[in-house]
Amino acid sequence: MPASLRPRRSVLYMPGSNARALEKARTLPADGLILDLEDAVAPAAKETARAQAVAALRAGRYRPREVIVRVNGLATAWGHADLVAAASAGADAVLLPKVESADAVRQALAVLTTAGAPPELALWAMMETPRAMLHADEIAAASPRLAALVMGTSDLAKELRAAHTAMRLPLLTALGLCLLAARVHGLAILDGVFLDLQDEAGFEAACRQGAELGFDGKTLIHPNQIGPANRAFSPSEAELARARRIIEAHEAARLRGEGVVVLDGRLIEELHVREARRQVQLAEAIAAMGAAAAGDFGSDRG
């Protein structure tokens, strides 16, 4: 499926140091999994986490989920070895932490290329510092291999000295800058994590807000968050029904040679038709992914 339509409604962080979690991830209905070697792993466990994540990837059985490895930064003692290991482990993408410049993306790509990474291995970039916000456009344009931006809202709020509020008003400028950069350069973009596992209503509200802002999905810290995220970032039945009506009305008008389409009293323009088609195609991709997860088709590799 086109990368722009790959479902990324729910992307769950899994600590590379937790072998049981890496095994359980094979059964979870998340669209994507981030095998984390960075924040979720203590310094003493970094080497173990790297070895376990690589072994888990090579063992396979994660498909149809997208699998990403979050490495440590190149400036750390583990970053270079993480990139070398991830280059040939069989992941779909490598997530770079605390990216603040286009050079950081290109430096990581150079290490991966030297280590023999296949051309289809994508890069994702964590956007989690004020400097990253001010350089979002150049980061998003850094390489054709860059496929997604991931908001690191916890670190960002800390560095901004901003409060964690329900509507996230202190972060809206930063979120908007990254959304603009992602859409200009055709990248996916994922919202940051929600930390209060007891606040189910708050999490659902955060997912709705993220979808309304334009995010493709949300990064998660617990399997219980997968279901609400999948629902929030999927087109609803009502949205799909309207999307199909828009497509049908536009096609009928085209066949009649009419340039203006009115549906339910509203003017329908080409931009509405493009969005309607995107929603329908996304719903089809979600359905196909669900069928693959149920074993109807798809590869067992990865």
| In the block, residue with structure tokens 């603009």 | 180
Q: What is the pLDDT of residue 5?
A: 82
Q: Is 282 left (phi over 0), alpha (psi -120 to 50) or beta?
A: alpha
215-249 tens-digit pLDDT: 999 999 999 999 999 999 999 999 999 999 999 99
3-232 is classed in which CATH architecture? Answer: Alpha-Beta Barrel (3.20)
What are the tens digits of pLDDT across the range 31-83? 999 999 999 999 999 999 999 999 999 999 999 999 999 999 999 999 999 99
Nearest to 127 by CA among 107, 155, 92: 155
CB 89 within 8 A of CB 57: yes
Q: Residues in the chain with pLDDT < 70?
A: 1-4, 296-302
Domain(s) labelled CATH 3.20.20.60 in the chain stretch across: 3-232
Q: State the pLDDT at residue 294.
A: 80
